[in-house]
Amino acid sequence: MYAVILAGGGGTRLWPLSRRAKPKPFLPLLGEESLFQLTLRRIEPLVPAEDVFVVADERHRDVVADQAPQLGDRHLLGEPFARNTAAAVALAALTVSRVDDDVMVVLPADHYITDPAGLRDCLTVAAEAARDGSLVVLGITPTGPETGYGYVTGADVDESPSKVRRVAQFVEKPERERARELLSSPPGAWWNAGIFVWRRDAVLDGLERHAPGLVSTLRRGLEAGEPLAAIYERLPEVSIDRALLEPASLEDRVRVVPADVGWSDLGSWNALQAALAQRSQSADGVVAVGRAEDIGSSGILVHSSAGRLVVTVGLSDTIVVDTPDVVLVCAADQAQEVRTIVDRLAQAKEIDHL
């Protein structure tokens, strides 16, 4: 078994902490280690460092080397720029030299999981299920009808909860009502968290059948020694879900392993607030990272990473983020607007702050 960690996420919604120079995977959002480092540590008992490969933006090579000195330089597959997950997975499948029936585990570098042992158990079950050439997805137990995630639905009604299931379909970011339906109809549905387990030949064969242009362009360019930036320019920008898993599910090639492992994508300040509140078991709902003083607030997250003292008084449901050059103060229920601010700064060419 070998692991391919996808560390190309931008984490725009965690601005101003997440920046182009050091985006979300490389930030110690929950403590001393970055999400990338936590991801490595999580799979370490299952996949030793010599079998771990990281796909990340070439610009972050130094950050990866700093944070994971145990990985050799060859273990970083640097992308010239992000081209979504199908390109990243294909790059790893083509360039990491392994035998065909080796099992590849694909893991995002910027998620959080409270039960690492549970995750490893699920990955072991998934690796077994992948032996026959199936494409296996870990299915996160949903906590509600979220509209921001992709769902996979089971094909069979009469299976036991822990069993590997056949996948009927993928549903990308459904409306609220549809999400409710998915959750309530047997045999249930799970969130697709981008954690995949498959044989190297299964993913390459599948990509060649369902996304032939992508694989052939990449393969020929690499064989011709063309610069990766020139090859990447010609690749379609598509997710591995859409390029491979959706069409393969119609051919009954996809399986799901239910995974109740305390997963969070930490996809917004709200999600980080929830994860930190759970960890700290804060009674008054005041969660702080860094130097902070509070009087009488509730439901707040204070994140101070620039050494300054952040003082909060009488706030409710508010997020305060202090960085060396930007301070963000945001109503918790408006956290999705952070993206709007980032867009506005990009348009105004305020790139120092991005």
Q: Which residues form the interface with its own copies (CB under 8 A)?
A: 16, 293, 295-296, 304, 308-316, 318, 320, 322, 324-331, 333-335, 337-338, 340-341, 344-345, 350, 353
Closer to its own copies by Cβ: residue 8 or 16? 16
Question: 6, 2, 43: which is closest to 241 by C-alpha?
Answer: 6
**Residue 343 C-beta: closest distance to its own copies, Å:** 11
What angle do the packed helices 200-210 and 212-223 form, to 10 degrees? 110
Closer to its own copies by Cβ: residue 69 or 324? 324
Closer to its own copies by Cβ: residue 117 or 331? 331
Closer to its own copies by Cβ: residue 237 or 350? 350
Instruction: Determine phi and psi for 233, rounding to 5 degrees.
Output: -55, -35
**Residue 29 C-beta: closest distance to its own copies, Å:** 19
**Residue 275 C-beta: closest distance to its own copies, Å:** 20
- Written as six digits, the tokens of 24 are 């979300």
Angle at 42 (CA atoms; ends 40, 43), nearest 5 degrees:
70
**Residue 316 C-beta: closest distance to its own copies, Å:** 8
Closer to its own copies by Cβ: residue 217 or 312? 312
**Residue 322 C-beta: closest distance to its own copies, Å:** 5
Give the strands of the sheet with 318-322, arranged side by side.
286-289, 300-304, 318-322
Burial grade of 186 (CB within 10 A; 0-12, 13-18, 19 or more): exposed
CB 221 within 8 A of CB 101: no
Closer to its own copies by Cβ: residue 111 or 303? 303
**Residue 179 C-beta: closest distance to its own copies, Å:** 24
Label each residue of 145-178 as H, E or C.
CCCCCEEEEECCCCCCCCCCEEEEEEECCCCHHH
Closer to its own copies by Cβ: residue 141 or 282? 282
- Bridge-based pairing of strands 165-171 and 300-304 is unpaired
**Residue 10 C-beta: closest distance to its own copies, Å:** 18
How far lies 65's CA from each of 76, 91, 112, 353, in Å?
Answer: 9, 20, 21, 24
